[in-house]
Chains A and B, each alone.
Chain A
Amino acid sequence: MLTQRIEIHKLWDGDNLILGFSIGGGIDQDPSQNPFSEDKADKGIYVTRVSKGGPAEVAGLRLGDKIMQVNGWDMTMVTHDQARKKLTKKNEDVVRLLVTRRSLEDAVRQSMMQH
C-alpha cells in the first residue's frame, strides 16, 4: 500500500473555501456500500469524487484514495461529519492529507486471481 502526502490549497468559491472533492465513509456509515474499499468492512474516509481542475485534483488527489490523516488528525476512526469538519475548517486554507491508494498492479493482479 503506497501512501502519499497531498497538499491542497483551498480555493475561494464565493463565500466558501472549497477543496474540490467529495468524501464518503465514516464509522457511522455502512461500509459495505463503499465501492472503493478493498475491505468491505473498512469504515475509513474515501474520496468519492474529484472536481475537474479543482484544487484537489491539481494537488494530486485521486478518486478512490483513502484519507488517513488531515493536518495530522486521524481519519481512520471518525464519523462522516467529523471528517467533513476537519476538512472544512474556515481558518485553514491549506490541508495536508495523508492518503493511500491501491496501485493499479495490485488491483489487476487481484482481479485476475479471482478468475
Chain B
Amino acid sequence: MMQIDRLADMEEKLRILEDLNMIYIRQIALSLKDSDIQKKIDYEIRMREGACKLLAACSQRDQALEASKSLLTCNARIMAYMSELQRMKEAQVMQRVARRSSDAGPMDDRSPCKAKVAISDLRIPLMWKDTEYFKNKGELHRCAVFCLLQLGGEIFDTDMVMVDRTLTDICFDNTIVFNEASPGFELRVELYSCCSEEDYSAGSTPRKLASKLSTSLGRSSGKKMRGALEPGACSPTSNGGGAAILLPVPSVPGPKYHLLAHTTLNLSHVQDSFRTHDFTITGNEECSYWLPLYGGVCCRLAAQPHCMTQQMMSGCLRVKLGGEPQGWTNVYGVLKGTNLFCYHQKEDMEANVEPVLTIGINKETRIRAAEKDPHSKAQNICITNQYGGEEVMHTLAADSREDTQHWMEAFWQQFYDMSQWRQCCDDLMKIELPSPRKPAIVTPKQGSLYHEMVIDTSDDIGTVTDILARRIEEFDLRSQLGSPPHWMSLFDEDPPRSPHSHQHLPPHSPSPRLHSRCHRTPGLLSSNASLTSDSDSPTSVRPCFRQAWSPDSNSSSGRFRPRTLSLDAKLSTLRGRGYGGFRCNCQPPTASSGSPRPTQIALSCSSSTSSSSSSEGSNSQESDLGFSRPSSARRSLRNLRAKLDPRNWLQSQV
C-alpha cells in the first residue's frame, strides 16, 4: 500500500505544480498587460481542461483519439503563447521596442510586408512492404494520425485520419491559412501518430510521473526554460519529455500521440503548385505508432504577401499620356501587387471599372524621380518598363512635394517587399479560404457521447425499452389479432385537446416517434411515479402518462424531468440510427385486461379507449426506415466503409 500512497502523493505534487505553472503563466501575461495573449492562453487552458475531462470520461476509442489530439494541440498552443510571452518579457526588460510592429519604420530600417501563407492538400505517401502483411497475420494495424502545423505563434491541427494497410497515402483535406507571416517564416509540419489498438491504461504511470516531476522541478532555472521555449519546437513530446517543462501532460488514461515525422518549410518551398518535400522521420519500426512512411510529404504551399493583395498606396496623380509634353491627365492611382492602376476617378475603382492606364511595377521596373519640371513645384516620377525589348516610360506627377515623397516611398517599399517575397510576387497565388472548422473538442457523433454521458447502461431507460419490447412480444404470443394495448391509443396522432397543461402532448415530432416504439416507455415511467398502482380507471392514468411523457412540457414535475430528458435523448438516438427494431404490433393484441400481468406495471390499467390503426401505419414507415439501409448496404463500397466505421451499428435483413 506504500506504493499507492507514494503514487497519490506524487500525483498531488504534480497537480500543485501544474497549478503553479498556470499561475506563473498568467502572471507573466498580466505583467505584460497583454490582454490579447492572456485571453488566448486562458482560452487554451480551458480547452485543455475540457479535453482532459473528455478523455477521462469517454470510452469510445475514436472519441478518445480526438480528445487526445485536442489536448496535444492545446498544449502546443500554450507553449507557443508562452514562448511569445517570454520573448516579449525579454524585450520589455531590455527596453527594446516590441518586434511585432509591421508599420514601415524609418527609411533605413525597412521591414517587409506580411503575407498570408496557406498550406493545403497534404499528402504523405506510405510504403507498405509484404512483410507487413505477414507480421500482422492479416490483422489490420491501424494508427490514428494528424498533422500539427505551426507558423510563428499560430498552431493548427488537421483532422484525424485513420491509417491502415489499405491506404497508400495519408491525405489531409484541410487547408490551413496562417495570417501575418514574415518572409523569413518557418512552417513546421509535424505528423503525430497513435496506435489504434493500444491498451490505454496508464501502466507506466509511476515512471511518467517521476519524469514529469523531475522536469517540472527543474523549471525554475531560466536556461532550461529558454531551451524548452525555443520557438522552433512545436509541441511537448508525449509522456513528459523535455519540452513539457512548464506543462506536464496530465496523467489521464487514454491514447497518446507520438511524433512520427517532421519537416520545416520556408519561403523557398513556396510555389503555386504541388511539391514534394523531405520528411524527417523519428521513431523506428519497433514503435507501436510506426507507419512505413516513404520519406516525403507533398503539399501545396502558397503565400499571398499583403503587397500583392492590398492597396499599398493610393492617391491622386497626374500622368503624361502620349508624347504631348503638356498633356497631363488627372487620374486616381492605386498601387497594388505588380501594377499601378490609374483610374479616371476614385469611384471607378470602387465600381470595378477598368482603369485608364495600368503600369507594371515589378522586379524589372525602374523608377526614379526626374529633374524638376520647370512647370511644377514637385519632381516628376518616371517609371520605365521593358515591354518585349522596348523601353516604355511613363511620367507621373503628384500634387505636392509631400505626395511625391509618399509615392516614392511606396514604390521603394513595394520593391523591397518584392525582393523579400521573391517568387510570391511574380503572380498572385490563389488561396482558398477554408470553410469554418470544427471546434477542437469533438462534437458527439450520432449523439453517441451524449448517449454515453446521459444514458448510463445501468440506467433504467435502456431496460425500460427492452422490457417493453418483450412486453409486446408477450402480448403477441398470448393473443390473437385484435387491437393494440389500450394505452397505445393515448399516443395517437391527434390526442384529445385538453386545456389542462398536464395533458398536453406536444403535437410535433414526439408523436410519430411514439408510435413506433416510444409509446411503451411512458407506461413504465408512470409506473415509476406510482409504483404499485394497478389502477383501472383510465382518467387517473392519463395525466400520469402525459405528464411523464412530454419532454418539453413545463408542467412536468421536477422529479420527472431528468428522466424524460434522458428518455428523449435515448429515443432520439435510437430513432436517429434508423433503428427499426421495435415493431410494436406484429400481432396487435386484444383487450389487455385478459392477459395476466406479472408485475405492478401501471400498464395494466385497462383504460377502455379503443385502438386505432394509426400506429400500424407509422410502423410501416418506421420499418421502411429500418430496412432501407440493410438492403442496399450489402453491395457497395459504401457498405465496406460503413462496416469499418465503428460508429455505425449495422443491421442486415435476412
Q: Do the beta carbons of B460 and A114 come within 8 Å of each other?
A: yes
Partner of A114, one of B458, B473, B474, B648: B458
**With the chains together, A64 CA to B462 CA distance in Å?**
13
Q: Nearest-CB distance from A52 to chain B (Å)?
A: 4
Q: Do the beta carbons of A115 and B460 come within 8 Å of each other?
A: yes
Give every chain A residue within 8 A of B623 (Cβ-Cβ). Answer: 49
Partner of B581, one of A29, A48, A112: A48
Q: Do the beta carbons of B601 and A108 come within 8 Å of each other?
A: yes
In this assembly, does A99 line the interface, its C-beta being within 8 Å of a C-beta of chain B? no
Which residues 156-204 in B have Cβ within 8 Å of A in the complex? none
Which residues 532-559 in B have Cβ within 8 Å of A in the complex? none
Q: Which residue of A lies closest to B577 (CB)?
A: A33
Partner of B467, one of A19, A84, A111: A111
Q: Do the beta carbons of A28 and B460 come within 8 Å of each other?
A: no
Partner of A107, one of B466, B531, B649, B650: B466
- Most chain B CB inside 10 Å of its own CB: which residue of A22, A57, A112: A22
Q: Size band of the B side of the interface? A: 35 or more
Q: Nearest-CB distance from B632 to chain A (Å)?
A: 14
In this assembly, does A1 line the interface, its C-beta being within 8 Å of a C-beta of chain B? no
Known: A22-B654, A35-B574, A104-B471. A52 touches B463 (CB 8 A): no
Partner of A111, one of B464, B587, B644, B652: B464
**With the chains together, A42 CA to B238 CA distance in Å?**
34
In this assembly, does A24 line the interface, its C-beta being within 8 Å of a C-beta of chain B? yes
Cβ contacts B566-588/A at 8 Å (1 or 0 each): 00000000100101111100110
The secondary structure that dominates the A interface is mixed
Q: Do the beta carbons of A35 and B466 come within 8 Å of each other?
A: yes
**With the chains together, A18 CA to B577 CA distance in Å?**
24
Cβ contacts A26-52/B at 8 Å (1 or 0 each): 101110111110001000000011101
Q: Which residue of A lies closest to B644 (CB)?
A: A28
In this assembly, does A62 line the interface, its C-beta being within 8 Å of a C-beta of chain B? yes
Which residues 595-654 in B have Cβ within 8 Å of A in the complex? 598-599, 601, 623, 626-627, 630, 634, 643-644, 646-654
Q: Which residue of B lies closest to A31 (CB)?
A: B649
Q: Which residue of A lies closest to B585 (CB)?
A: A52
Q: Do the beta carbons of B582 and A32 come within 8 Å of each other?
A: no
In this assembly, does B524 line the interface, its C-beta being within 8 Å of a C-beta of chain A? yes
Partner of B469, one of A21, A29, A53, A63: A63
Q: Nearest-CB distance from A102 to chain B (Å)?
A: 7
**With the chains together, A111 CA to B646 CA distance in Å?**
29
Known: A22-B627, A63-B581, A108-B467. A35 touches B650 (CB 8 A): no
Q: Do the beta carbons of B60 and A32 come within 8 Å of each other?
A: yes
Partner of A29, one of B459, B465, B626, B650: B650
Count of chain A residues near B, Cβ 8 A: 43
Known: A104-B467, A104-B470. A26 touches B650 (CB 8 A): yes
**With the chains together, A15 CA to B472 CA distance in Å?**
32
Give every chain A residue within 8 A of B220 (Cβ-Cβ). Answer: none
Which residues 208-261 in B have Cβ within 8 Å of A in the complex? none
Q: List 22 A-B contacts (CB under 8 A).
A: A19-B654, A21-B653, A22-B653, A23-B651, A23-B652, A23-B654, A24-B652, A28-B644, A48-B580, A49-B626, A49-B651, A63-B582, A80-B650, A81-B652, A84-B652, A88-B654, A107-B466, A107-B467, A111-B460, A111-B467, A111-B524, A114-B463
Q: Which 9 A-B pairs have the closest CB atoms?
A: A33-B649, A48-B581, A111-B463, A52-B586, A24-B651, A87-B654, A40-B457, A84-B652, A62-B473
